């Protein structure tokens, strides 16, 4: 039951056929690829003697394995070099546009899609990466797929999919000072649980989203998958249109006006039906930080850690495991927990507004000498813009490292990793065991403001004091 929602409209307009076994065959308007989840897919095509059906609808970048310190080829890491070379070869042989390091457009796939105007309202967008939900911020249906499915898209520009249910999530009122989109999505995941979104697409709306900028919407949609929802989106509105105007791959001139009319038309109707509706009051959200081993293990920064009695069954076991792994105690305050590393970056929070917020806090202050802080812009464009505003100087003067664009310390596939049992405050999206590259590394997720404030104090810190 999701009639007249954006989800239904876009799904229907992209449905090619009902497959004999019952799935819908769905056309993919934009296929984004990167070096990690594609080499095997290109091999599958070769094995079957197939060609890329719509090469102009696939765009490639390199992000996961890219070193952020020295980006000169060949890379020091032979495996990274091999993956980069494989992507280069595959896109070359198949006539796929590649946002190579030399183009000035390289960056994390979920940063460059919207930034270049590739991701547009009313599209279906797939990528071999779970955070493809990010692109829902522009009013598209973006979702992550696996490598065999990447091969399906390359060969046919379609996927065999089942329909999801649609849950409307209203965040009403307004956000207090020092509270950011990252806190909104951490709170939603806290309330609905990391399994709450299984089988669902999340439609975000309400006054908080009406007022939220595009980059903030990207942060929220990005982490839909952490709540179990493969898709998250915000209906396109005037903010969306203003964001897309003038972007390199967005329609220009008369084409833009036609596009704008189409984009407006795909938004959910006022009388749309939803499978269910959930609400959060914006004023009740405070800066959030995770304490455990999944993104649902979170608390307000001023609160005490939840008691084990607050959990039931398996959730209690996971919470116990979380406390043991993180070296924390139920009932203790989370603020003041000492950290070793602060990471500002990732497809969740590495855009200009994120860097500006980090810089606002760090200006005229110093990163605590015990703390190593990395600031990693999400794309070459973001880096260029940040540098034109002098943000890089603010970061380096504060004692943080300013790096080149890439996924960096989000996931331990490049040189940026936690070491041993180091504890980080990170603006990324996953606090899973081992996620930041060390099997014993401990991750706390928070907003860019919380990362910067904590870096200054050397411990988890409420950014509202800054």
Partner 1 sequence: MGEAKRAVIRQVKGKAIPLPGDDIDTDRITPARFLKAVTFAGIEAALFCDERENMPDHPVDNPAHKGAKLMFVGKNFGSGSSRESAPQAIQRFGIQALVGVSFADIFAGNSFAIGMPLAAASPENAARLIARAQRHPQTQFVLDLEKLTVSFGGESLPVEMLEDRRKSFLAGTWDMLANLEANLPRVREVAAGLPYVSGFSS
* List 211, 258, 366, 370, residue binding partner 1 (CB under 8 A): 258
Structure tokens at 271: 């009388």
Give the residue from 25, 95, 86, 14 showing the smallest Cα distance to 58.
95
For position 13 contacting partner 1 by CB under 8 A, the verdict is: yes
Structure tokens at 251: 């329609």
Say how far apart CA 435 and CA 317 lie, in whole Å. 20
For partner 1, give the closer residue by CB, 42 or 180: 42
For position 16 contacting partner 1 by CB under 8 A, the verdict is: yes
* List 67, 107, 136, 144, residue binding partner 1 (CB under 8 A): 144
For partner 1, give the closer residue by CB, 23 or 170: 23
Say how far apart CA 247 and CA 259 lie, in whole Å. 13
Question: What's the closest the beta carbon of residue 99 comes to partner 1, in angstroms?
Answer: 19
CA separation, residue 96 to residues 92, 118, 234, 379 (Å): 7, 14, 29, 20
Residues 361-420 that bind partner 1 (CB under 8 A): 411-413
For position 17 contacting partner 1 by CB under 8 A, the verdict is: yes
Say how far apart CA 433 and CA 418 lie, in whole Å. 12
Question: What's the closest the beta carbon of residue 64 comes to partner 1, in angstroms?
Answer: 8
Say how far apart CA 292 and CA 301 lie, in whole Å. 14
Say how far apart CA 13 and CA 124 lie, in whole Å. 10
Whether residue 68 contacts residue 197, with contact meaning beta carbons closer than 8 Å, is answered with no
* List 69, 155, 207, 421, residue binding partner 1 (CB under 8 A): 155
Binding span for partner 1 by CB under 8 A among 50-58, 167-175, 204-212, 236-244: 50-58
For position 462 contacting partner 1 by CB under 8 A, the verdict is: no
Say how far apart CA 462 and CA 287 lie, in whole Å. 7
Instruction: Determine the distance from the C-alpha atom of residue 237 to the mean position of all C-alpha atoms in its chain, rounded to a whole number.
Output: 21
* List 3, 25, 385, 399, residue binding partner 1 (CB under 8 A): 25
Other beta carbons less than 10 A from residue 466's beta carbon? 16
Pairing of strands 24-27, 15-18: antiparallel
Whether residue 120 contacts residue 83, with contact meaning beta carbons closer than 8 Å, is answered with no
For partner 1, give the closer residue by CB, 224 or 454: 224
List, as one string, the DSSP characters of 304-340: BPPPGGG--HHHHHHHHHHHHHHT--TTSBSTT-B-S
Other beta carbons less than 10 A from residue 270's beta carbon? 6
For position 251 contacting partner 1 by CB under 8 A, the verdict is: yes
Q: Within 284-421, where are the H helices? A: 313-326, 352-362, 380-388, 391-398
Residues 299-358 that bind partner 1 (CB under 8 A): 314-315, 317-318
CA separation, residue 277 to residues 25, 190, 347 (Å): 28, 16, 27
Question: What's the closest the beta carbon of residue 195 comes to partner 1, in angstroms?
Answer: 4
The number of residues that bind partner 1 (CB under 8 A) is 86
For partner 1, give the closer residue by CB, 73 or 317: 317
Question: What's the closest the beta carbon of residue 360 comes to partner 1, in angstroms?
Answer: 32
Binding span for partner 1 by CB under 8 A among 45-53, 355-363, 364-372, 379-387: 45-53
Structure-token match 């102009």, residue found? 56
For position 34 contacting partner 1 by CB under 8 A, the verdict is: no
Structure tokens at 135: 């692109």
Binding span for partner 1 by CB under 8 A among 47-55, 273-281, 327-335, 395-403: 47-55
CA separation, residue 156 to residues 49, 113, 120, 306, 348 (Å): 13, 21, 21, 49, 30
Binding span for partner 1 by CB under 8 A among 31-39, 93-101, 298-306, 341-349: 31-39
Residue 212 makes CB contacts below 8 A (sequence gap 6+) with: 181, 220, 234, 239
* List 60, 65, 367, 409, residue binding partner 1 (CB under 8 A): 65
For position 152 contacting partner 1 by CB under 8 A, the verdict is: yes
For position 166 contacting partner 1 by CB under 8 A, the verdict is: no
* List 39, 216, 287, 345, residue binding partner 1 (CB under 8 A): 39
* List 1, 50, 332, 419, residue binding partner 1 (CB under 8 A): 50
Question: What's the closest the beta carbon of residue 383 comes to partner 1, in angstroms?
Answer: 24
* List 27, 278, 311, 466, residue binding partner 1 (CB under 8 A): 27
Question: What's the closest the beta carbon of residue 174 comes to partner 1, in angstroms?
Answer: 32
For position 159 contacting partner 1 by CB under 8 A, the verdict is: yes
For partner 1, give the closer residue by CB, 41 or 352: 41
Residue 40 makes CB contacts below 8 A (sequence gap 6+) with: 147, 151
* List 8, 63, 115, 129, residue binding partner 1 (CB under 8 A): 129
For partner 1, give the closer residue by CB, 1 or 324: 324
Mask for 93-122, x = binds partner 1 (CB under 8 A): ---------------------------x-x
Question: What's the closest the beta carbon of residue 262 comes to partner 1, in angstroms?
Answer: 5
């Amino acid at each position: 039951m999701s009639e007249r929602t954006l989800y239904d409209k876009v799904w229907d307009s992209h449905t090619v056929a009902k497959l004999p076994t019952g799935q819908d065959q769905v056309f993919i308007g934009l296929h984004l690829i990167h070096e990690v989840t594609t080499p095997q897919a290109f091999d599958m095509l070769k094995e079957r003697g197939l060609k890329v059906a719509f090469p102009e609808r696939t765009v490639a970048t390199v992000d996961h394995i890219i070193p952020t310190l020295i980006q000169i080829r060949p890379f020091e890491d032979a495996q990274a070099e091999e993956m980069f070379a494989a992507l280069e070869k595959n896109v070359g042989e198949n006539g796929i546009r590649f946002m190579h390091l030399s183009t000035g457009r390289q960056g994390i796939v979920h940063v460059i899609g919207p930034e270049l105007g590739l991701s547009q309202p009313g599209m279906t967008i797939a990528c071999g990466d779970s955070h493809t939900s990010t692109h829902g911020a522009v009013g598209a249906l973006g979702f992550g797929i696996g490598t065999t499915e990447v091969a399906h898209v390359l060969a046919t520009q379609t996927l065999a999919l089942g329909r999801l249910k649609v849950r409307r999530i209203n965040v009403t009122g307004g956000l207090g000072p020092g509270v950011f989109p990252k806190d909104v999505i951490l709170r939603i995941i806290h309330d609905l649980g990391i399994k709450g979104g299984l089988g669902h697409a999340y439609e975000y709306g309400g006054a908080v989203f009406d007022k939220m900028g595009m980059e903030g919407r990207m942060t929220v949609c990005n982490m839909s998958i952490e709540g179990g929802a493969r898709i998250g989106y915000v209906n396109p509105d005037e903010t969306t249109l203003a964001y897309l105007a003038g972007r390199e791959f967005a329609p220009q001139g008369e084409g833009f006006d036609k596009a704008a009319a189409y984009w407006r038309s795909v938004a959910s109707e006022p009388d749309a039906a939803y499978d269910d509706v959930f609400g959060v009051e914006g004023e009740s959200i405070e800066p959030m930080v995770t304490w455990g081993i999944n993104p649902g293990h979170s608390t307000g920064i001023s609160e005490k850690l939840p008691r084990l009695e607050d959990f039931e069954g398996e959730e209690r076991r996971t919470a116990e495991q979380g406390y043991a792994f993180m070296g924390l105690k139920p009932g203790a305050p989370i603020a003041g927990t000492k950290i070793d590393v602060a990471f500002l970056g990732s497809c969740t929070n590495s855009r200009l507004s994120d860097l500006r917020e980090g810089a606002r806090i760090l200006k005229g202050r110093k990163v605590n000498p015990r703390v190593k802080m990395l600031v990693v812009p999400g794309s070459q464009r973001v880096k260029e813009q940040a540098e034109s505003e002098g943000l890089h100087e603010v970061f380096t003067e504060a004692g943080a490292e300013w790096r080149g664009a890439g996924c960096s310390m989000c996931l331990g596939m490049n040189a940026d990793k936690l070491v041993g049992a180091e504890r980080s405050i990170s603006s990324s999206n996953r606090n899973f065991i081992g996620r930041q590259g060390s099997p014993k590394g401990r991750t706390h997720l928070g907003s860019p403001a919380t990362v910067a404030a904590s870096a200054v104090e050397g411990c988890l810190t409420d950014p509202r004091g800054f």
